[in-house]
Amino acid sequence: MKMVVCHVTLLDGSQFTCEVEKRAKGQYLFFQVCEHLNLLEKDYFGLSFKDNAEQRCWLDITKEIKRQIRNSQWQFTFSVKFYPPDPSQLTEDITRYLLCLQLRQDIASGRLPCSFVTHALLGSYTLQAELGDHDPDEHRLDYISDFLFAPNQTKELEEKVVELHKSHRGMTPAQADAQFLENAKKLSMYGVDLHHAKDSEGVDIMLGVCANGLLIYKDRLRINRFAWPKILKISYKRSNFYIKIRPGEAEQFESTVGFKLPNHRAAKRVWKVCVEHHTFFRLVSPEHPTKTKFLTLGSKFRYSGRTQAQTRQASSLIDRPAPNFQRTSSKRLSRSLDGAPVVNVSDYSQAAGAGENGPPLELNSDSKSPQVEVMEEPNVDAATSITSEMAFEMDGTGAPERKSKLRVQGENIYVRHSNLMLEDLDKTQEDVLKHQASISELKRSFMEARPEPRPSQWDKHLSGSPVTSLRLQAHGVPQETPPGPGTDSRDTSKTAEVKPEVDDQPEVIEVVEETVVIEEVVKAKPKSPAPEASIPVETEVKEERSLSSGSDSEEEAEYHAQPPSTSISIQQIKEEPEEEQEAELTQQAPPSAIESQPSAEAAEPGPVVEEEKPAEPHEEEHTHEPRLMTDEAPNGHALKAEAPPTAEEEEPHIVNGSASRVEAEHLPQVICCSEPPVVKTEMVTISDTFAAQKTEISTKEVPIVHTETKTITYEAAQLDGNGDGEPGVLMTAQTITSESLCTTTTTHITKTLKGGQSETRIEKRIVITGDSDIDHDQALAQAIKEAKEQHPDMSVTRVVVHKETELAEDED
């Protein structure tokens, strides 16, 4: 077993180091830490780590550590995850002590705001606990300068602390801790986990998740509050987070309130934190995810630890003499504070690995409370996905002889950018162009990387959907196509959604995941590996990356894996919604028509629209899923159908009417871009702020989510005449699935015997889920790279990228 050294920062600032097996679950490490701390009431605590985006994520102890931290270091922080509303009910002093340490950090860092008086009082209890009675001889004023009591500690505060310290004479450390907690727990922000968000009108707010429910703040002001019993359902979809509210006495209908989070992961994080807090504080026992109502792609995440009720019960059985422990933390604490994670926003980030499809969760609340059912709906993702297929071909024998076909049905990469598109909308035209350029470079580099000495044919196929134009409208961008039905119809559908449902509806937590599917087909030829294939790619990639905006990064380099024989200008691939649409439309036109694209655009509107309609009403679970499925399906089909293998050398450059990169050579390429449905969704919302007071439900179009789907296929031309045509003899086939935090890889390996040659084809389907935080290109590149590493002697023959992106915007 491979062992790995983990470093855990404890609450007193010290480091705990331990070795774990590389495949160990979080549990193992967590228990090691608790044992080291001599902590029995451990359910209030957790381990966290920083992800690549420096966001703090809670380690899911039921899952493998490695999968969660991915490439991050094995560096963790031990901290309080659930703040007990009444610390006096904790059984052991050591637990209270650890909670004190956490709160001291929270206070000193400003995460837990308090007044001068409170800073002074809490500080004085800290001194009493750490130093014992004030000793006038020993304790001159500077004895406290090592302690950090407040974010901006003044002399005045220190004096006040000392003055109060003197008054605590005779108090034991445990009593001082208890007093500290009795005061700290009354602070209004005690145990509130804050997340930045925007309301349906785009106003900046904070969502605060706490033991009692969800609090909404604007600036420092509490503007709304949803106690758990008031909430029927919590869900998230892309970067939106929704709660469905039980109707009040005066109201007949449930209402749904939506919030916009900075990105998909943030939405998921807040959702997860809600699920966890609800379960921990409100339920007697965690709900088990056994019920699978839907086959979904969503997260099946549920809190599986003990609830507060359970942990209290367990604690009551603790039968040991109070453990001795040393309180020497404060000094170290003050030093370590800078590096302390900010609990504020990032605190509860989702644990890794929550990407799987999950059945709806039902959380049954206790008797009085309404039932809360948490269901995750995966489907959403479906709507948005990007598939890229990459085929890697390995020719053993050298280029000329390839008998096997290159074509790979390679990787389908579904990338969903939840926010990306949105952000792009805000960008200036220039940004958009830049972005496009970077993307096109990316693609080009990939193409160039192709190993084959001589360019094969690439067929570019882009299908645009009319939907795009709709989208444009919404943005206020001049659109050429008449407005599609999508938007308007939404309203009605929404209204329909508000059904007078009975209170006890389950809460459904929808999970929308983003997926990237990469299928990689590698053909290995038994004889000799093709030398050229992989090497060149990487270098090129990097260069291009720099230009790209958030979405594309160096990752793309990996695309390059193929030798640079072919270059494609990939303007069509642009991710910017507006531009793309046009491009895509054109693309659909027969290859020859490509250059004339601009005109083509307008014409296209017809077919796509239909697909859109089914698109999603986020709120309703039932309806939801089926629809989503529908959405996806079209895409999938589109890919296959649309990519005619034969289209020959076309010059893509002119797309959009802008000739950005024109590559002189006609490259053989097959590019399939299909932009299927843009889904606009609206929901009915009661205005967030004063939901309670409004007696009538106002139907508002809240978040409009545009989903954009694109499929791009890169395919190496078939080098060998023989390959594909001949049916081979299937020798073996196997499918392997693996998953990590944001990618799920399905590998399908087939070996066939053709004309005396055995051909191994590996198809990898990689689903990358995530939003703009995740660099999809990077993830893709990584996936491709890994594939190549795994099969060094194979080459990539085809990459299909299927991308689903959501554009969300608030409508006025």
Partner 1 sequence: MANIYPYGCFTHAVVRGIPESFGKLAEGGEGLQTDLAKAQRQMGVLTGALRQKVGLQLIEIPAVTELPESWRIEDVAVIQGDTALITRPLKQQRRTEAEAVRRVLSELKLTVLEMGDEEGRSAGATLEGSDVLFTGKEFFVGISKHTNHRGAEVLADTFKDFAVSTVPVCGGSRLKNICSMGGPDTIIISSSDGAKKTLRMMEQLTDHHYEILSVPEDVAANCVYIRGPAKVDFLLHPTAEECPNSVPAFQRLTDYTLLPTACSEASKLGAALSSLCLLINKKPNY
Binding site for partner 1 (CB under 8 A): 113-118, 120-121, 164, 167, 183, 186-188, 212, 218-225, 248, 690-693
517: Cβ contacts below 8 Å, ≥ 6 apart:
385, 387, 388, 411, 412, 413, 414, 744, 746, 765, 766, 767, 768, 802
The nearest distance, CB 269 to partner 1, in angstroms, is 23
The nearest distance, CB 124 to partner 1, in angstroms, is 8
For partner 1, the closer of residues 55 and 118 by Cβ is 118
The nearest distance, CB 273 to partner 1, in angstroms, is 18
Backbone angles phi, psi at 193, to 5 degrees: -95, 115
The nearest distance, CB 168 to partner 1, in angstroms, is 9
Q: Find residue 751's DSSP bridge partners.
A: 732, 760
- Residue 179's alpha-carbon distances to 96, 118, 350, 730, in angstroms, are 10, 12, 33, 74
CA distance 572 to 654: 9
CB atoms within 10 A of CB 265: 26
For partner 1, the closer of residues 73 and 89 by Cβ is 89
For partner 1, the closer of residues 308 and 586 by Cβ is 308
The nearest distance, CB 257 to partner 1, in angstroms, is 13
Using alpha carbons only, how large is the chain's radius of gyration in Å? 29
Confirm if 586 and 596 have CB atoms less than 8 A apart.
yes
For partner 1, the closer of residues 221 and 317 by Cβ is 221
Amino acid at 607: P
For partner 1, the closer of residues 187 and 570 by Cβ is 187
Pick the closest to residue 581 from 468, 433, 728 (CA basis): 468
For partner 1, the closer of residues 145 and 167 by Cβ is 167
Backbone angles phi, psi at 53, to 5 degrees: -90, 15
For partner 1, the closer of residues 223 and 314 by Cβ is 223
Confirm if 516 and 388 have CB atoms less than 8 A apart.
yes
The nearest distance, CB 367 to partner 1, in angstroms, is 19
The nearest distance, CB 121 to partner 1, in angstroms, is 4
CA distance 108 to 104: 6
HEC sequence for 60-120: CCCCEHHHHHCCCCCEEEEEECCCCCCHHHCCCHHHHHHHHHHHHHHHHCCCCCCCHHHHH
Helix (H, G, I), strand (E, B) or coil at 267: helix
Q: Find residue 799's DSSP bridge partners.
A: 390, 714
For partner 1, the closer of residues 124 and 445 by Cβ is 124
For partner 1, the closer of residues 221 and 664 by Cβ is 221
Sequence-separated contacts (24+) of 225-228 with Cβ below 8 Å? 226/257, 228/278, 228/281, 228/282, 228/365, 228/369, 228/372
Pick the closest to residue 783 from 747, 749, 748 (CA basis): 747
For partner 1, the closer of residues 588 and 689 by Cβ is 689
CA distance 516 to 518: 6
Pick the closest to residue 173 from 214, 135, 117, 125 (CA basis): 125
Q: Which of 694-721 are b and which e, b meaning 16 or more Cβ less than 10 Å from the residue's Cβ?
A: eeebebbbbbbbbbbbbbbbbbbbbbbe
For partner 1, the closer of residues 686 and 774 by Cβ is 686
Q: Find residue 673's DSSP bridge partners.
A: 462
- Residue 806's alpha-carbon distances to 11, 201, 269, 383, in angstroms, are 40, 18, 18, 9
Classify residue 25 by its DSSP letter.
B
For partner 1, the closer of residues 30 and 228 by Cβ is 228
Confirm if 350 and 193 have CB atoms less than 8 A apart.
no
The nearest distance, CB 122 to partner 1, in angstroms, is 8
Q: In terms of DSSP H, where are the helices of 391-484?
A: 420-426, 429-448, 467-475
The nearest distance, CB 93 to partner 1, in angstroms, is 22
The nearest distance, CB 173 to partner 1, in angstroms, is 19
The nearest distance, CB 677 to partner 1, in angstroms, is 38
For partner 1, the closer of residues 110 and 531 by Cβ is 110
CA distance 587 to 46: 51
For partner 1, the closer of residues 53 and 223 by Cβ is 223
CA distance 306 to 191: 18
The nearest distance, CB 696 to partner 1, in angstroms, is 13
For partner 1, the closer of residues 234 and 541 by Cβ is 234
The nearest distance, CB 505 to partner 1, in angstroms, is 20
